[in-house]
Amino acid sequence: MTATIETPSRPAPFAGRELRRVPPTAWVVLLSGILLLSIVFSVTLGPADIRPAEVWGSILGHLGLDPTALGGQVLSPLRDGIVWELRVPRILTAAAVGAGLALSGTVMQAITRNPLADPYLLGLSSGASLGAVAVILLGFGLLLPVAAFAGALAALLATLLLAGAAGALTPTRTVLAGLAVSSFFGAVTSLVIFWSATGDTYREILSWLLGSLSGAGWPAVAIGAGALLIVGLPLMLTGRTLDAFAFGDTAASALGIGVNPTRWLLLTATALLTGAMVAVSGSIGFVGLILPHAVRLVAGQRNRVVLPLSALAGAVFLIWIDTGARTLFDPRELPVGILTAVVGAPVFALLLLRARRIR
Amino acid sequence: MATVFRFSAHARRATPLLGAVALLMLTGCASAAPAAEPSKPAAPAASAYPLTVENCGTEVTFEKAPERVLTIKSTSTEMLLALGLEDRLIGQAFPDGPIPDALGGEDVPVISDKVPGQEAVLTLEPDLVYAGWESNFSADGAGDRETLASLGVNTYVSPAACKEAGKPDTLRFDDVFDQIEEIGALFDVPGAATELIDEQRAALDDLTPVSDVSALWYSSGSDIPYVGAGSGAPQMIMDAVGVTNIAAGVDDSWTPFNWESVVDANPDVIILVVSDWGSAEKKIGVLQSNPATAKLDAVVNERFITVPFAATEAGVRNVEAAATIAGQLEKLGL
């Protein structure tokens, strides 16, 4: 079964064929290492001048280890708070959100056979933002993740139904329907903000539209990591199913996959994952779009490989982008979505230009 | 300095010279501490119209004292009330909070809770729209300044709120007083302006500044705190009471800041800006619920100071803001 399901090995658009010979497990090990190093290093960066030894001392202390082991230093409760209550949860949230969005993007691209599919472009993020902004303004902040998920699911349904009603679900139609839905939900969000934001509270809500990890504390880590574990991990294991979809619905059903139930199950899972991520970070664009493509360039098309690598690469990517957002203009902060777009849009343009074969 | 506003065509030519004079007077004010009033015209003469002022890079000419004025934001409403010009106000918009009883103004209708649209402004047939923020004048706000001018409606922005041209590099009380003087000249009430300035200078001189007290000026925001920075009204007020602003390093009036820097600086007090939309309780809640800021000395010991929002933008209530902060610092034993 494996040999037939695998995506035909298209000639690599530009990545060296040598890269393709690197075994997938080597990539996973390499990226996991980079992720770990990124966490350890980025936690030492920030507006407050705290030495790496102090940072690691704080972390070791909280992990129940002797802070002075491994050269760590004990630091004051306030500075300890900077590390353990501000930096660590924010970086872990960035990792979870980056991984979750990249995973959602990979699954959506495979299921819809649409290289442009991504939670942001298909309107899921703006649907989730609307849900989140609405419950915040109504004062039911506790329902935030639920509302974000409901919004994401509603937007996904709207996009797919709209695209489907216009004919077969071609990539072009799906993207256009996503554009319509995302514009509409974005407009309703702006309307809600326009009518209810008082004074300069619009700044708060702007961070929903642009995406921001500034407020990410341990509860955000719990939501992000929880969603990644409960929804993301099973999704990561659907590589074979996704590969089957690559050949078309007929081929997939010939391989014994219930095409429609599977499609809806997987898409609902991506909506759930996206909703959870938007609930903690607002709608951050481009992560779900570009990372799967970047991974495919170096590791090939097989989703079994692309899924875990995208998740790892997404985590590393968002950690560094968010580190930029909180340190580049110190002591001011940028909404992280601005940076993902600034970095992501040109990368995506580059991918488009170099990978003309992707239709 | 009042002469700056007295001539229309000549004013511009004379600007460099007058600027130099103004500078001399400013330095005079700064160095000569209390009572020593800089020499000024004995009795302020009546304004001679037409009168042209340069306002945020836009030239505005007044043929006569404005009679039908719409104000946007509290600072502009309160400025006119403080100069006894309530009868010129046909409406106010976008109020930031209640007007202090002493200023009156109960009968001035609020035409909009936010920035009014262009048509809503024009139907009132104002001869001047006086805004607290430059951004209030935009096509999707109260109207473009040029458009309003072509329809015969003059516009004026509080100079401290200019975005580029006309914005003081670092706001000083002298800039605020200059604005009071300019408004006095525009409305032909120079006497009232002088009186108000003298009163405010005296109140300012009465303040006893503290020392070695650091503060966070927490204006709004929760994930990203929006705080008073190093060159606007918050800094000016903090300088007057002698506290050190932990965000003084950012060259702006207000700035988005980050909690990490706040925790790192661990300020002695936190000044909470109170408005209809952002109560002190809400801000204290934010500070207490974030585990990192909950450990701040000011939060643990509840060293909070409140100041009304409308008094924190450049205008006639800045001296009052300084006085209330000074009073609360004293109560906290600082």
Query: Are B220 and A207 in contact (CB < 8 Å)?
Result: no
Flag whether A59 is in a domain.
no
The three state secondary structure string of A161-186 is HHHHHCCCCCHHHHHHHHHHHHHHHH
How do residues A44-75 score in pLDDT, each as one tens digit? 999 888 888 888 888 888 988 877 766 667 78
Nearest to B260 among A46, A199, A217 (CB): A46
Query: Are B223 and A214 in contact (CB < 8 Å)?
Result: yes
- Kindly identify which residue of chain A lies nearest to residue B262, measuring between CA atoms: A48
For the cut 80, the answer to whether the pLDDT of residue A203 exceeds it is no
Flag whether A58 is in a domain.
no
Flag whether A2 is in a domain.
no
Kindly report the CATH number assigned to the domain that includes residue A155: 1.10.3470.10
pLDDT of the residue at B44:
56
How do residues A154-185 score in pLDDT, each as one tens digit? 999 999 899 888 777 777 788 889 999 999 99
For residue A240, count other CB atoms closer than 10 A to its CB.
Answer: 16
How confident is the model over B217-221, as a mean pLDDT?
92
DSSP classification of residue A85 = I
Please name the residues between 134 and 153 in chain B that touch chain A, using a CB distance below 8 Å.
Answer: none
pLDDT of the residue at B9:
37
Q: Locate all alpha helices (DSSP H) within chain A, ordered by sequence.
A: 2-5, 17-20, 24-42, 52-62, 77-81, 88-111, 124-138, 144-165, 171-196, 202-210, 218-227, 233-236, 239-245, 249-254, 259-281, 287-299, 303-327, 336-354
What is the residue range of A32's domain? 27-50+81-354
CA distance to partner chain A, nearest, from residue B47 (Å): 37
How confident is the model over B58-74, as a mean pLDDT?
95
What domains, with CATH codes, occur in chain B?
Answer: 54-204 (3.40.50.1980), 214-331 (3.40.50.1980)
Average pLDDT, chain A: 85
Please name the residues between 3 and 42 in chain A that touch chain B, using a CB distance below 8 Å.
Answer: none
Task: Identify which of B230, B299, B200 has the alpha carbon closest to the alpha carbon of residue B259.
Answer: B299
Flag whether A147 is in a domain.
yes
Nearest to B264 among A82, A203, A326 (CB): A82
**A–B interface: beta-carbon pairs under 8 A:** 94
How many independent structural domains does chain A possess?
1
Share of chain B above pLDDT 90, in %: 73
CA distance to partner chain A, nearest, from residue B263 (Å): 7
pLDDT of the residue at B223:
85
SS3 B110: strand
For the cut 50, the answer to whether the pLDDT of residue B125 exceeds it is yes
Flag whether A249 is in a domain.
yes
Which residues in B lie closer than 8 A to residue A42 (C-beta atoms)?
A: none
Does A51 touch chain B if contact means CB atoms closer than 8 Å?
A: no
CA distance to partner chain B, nearest, from residue A132 (Å): 15
At B2, the pLDDT band (50, 70, 90 cuts) reads: very low
Pairing of strands B214-220, B269-274: parallel
Query: Are B264 and A47 in contact (CB < 8 Å)?
Result: yes
Which residues in B lie closer than 8 A to residue A203 (C-beta atoms)?
A: 220-221, 224, 226, 256
How do residues B176-200 score in pLDDT, each as one tens digit? 999 999 999 999 999 999 999 999 9
Can you tell me the distance from the alpha carbon of A186 to that of B285, in angstroms, rounded to the nearest whole number?
A: 30
Crossing angle for the helix pair A336-354 and A202-210, nearest 10 degrees? 20
Which residues in A lie closer than 8 A to residue B264 (C-beta atoms)?
A: 47-50, 78-79, 82
Can you tell me the distance from the alpha carbon of B278 to that of B176, in angstroms, rounded to the nearest whole number?
A: 26
Which residues in B lie closer than 8 A to residue A78 (C-beta atoms)?
A: 263-264, 266, 292, 295-296
Flag whether A313 is in a domain.
yes
For the cut 90, the answer to whether the pLDDT of residue B26 exceeds it is no
Query: Are B292 and A82 in contact (CB < 8 Å)?
Result: yes
Query: Are A48 and B263 in contact (CB < 8 Å)?
Result: yes
Which residues in B lie closer than 8 A to residue A48 (C-beta atoms)?
A: 260-261, 263-264
How confident is the model over B215-229, as a mean pLDDT?
92
Nearest to A85 among B226, B275, B291 (CB): B291
The residue of B224, B250, B257, B288 whose CB has the most chain A CBs within 10 angstroms, and thus the best one to mutate to test that interface, is B224
Does A331 touch chain B if contact means CB atoms closer than 8 Å?
A: yes
The residue of B258, B272, B286, B301 whose CB has the most chain A CBs within 10 angstroms, and thus the best one to mutate to test that interface, is B258
pLDDT of the residue at B39:
44
- Residues in chain B, total: 334
Query: Are B223 and A215 in contact (CB < 8 Å)?
Result: yes
Flag whether A65 is in a domain.
no
Handedness of CA B262, B267, B273, B278 (dihedral sign): positive
pLDDT of the residue at A71:
67
Does B309 touch chain A if contact means CB atoms closer than 8 Å?
A: yes
CB B267 within 8 A of CB B298: yes
How do residues B233-281 score in pLDDT, each as one tens digit? 999 999 999 999 999 999 999 998 999 999 999 999 999 999 877 789 9
Flag whether A68 is in a domain.
no
The answer to whether the complex's ipTM is over 0.85 is no
Please name the residues between 252 and 311 in chain A that touch chain B, using a CB distance below 8 Å.
Answer: none
Of the two residues A120 and B306, the one the predictor is more confident about is B306
Nearest to A198 among B222, B276, B292 (CB): B276
Can you tell me the distance from the alpha carbon of A33 to that of A141, in angstroms, rounded to the nearest whole number?
A: 37
Query: Are A47 and B258 in contact (CB < 8 Å)?
Result: yes
Query: Are A201 and B277 in contact (CB < 8 Å)?
Result: yes
Q: Look up the pTM and report it.
A: 0.81
pLDDT of the residue at A144:
82
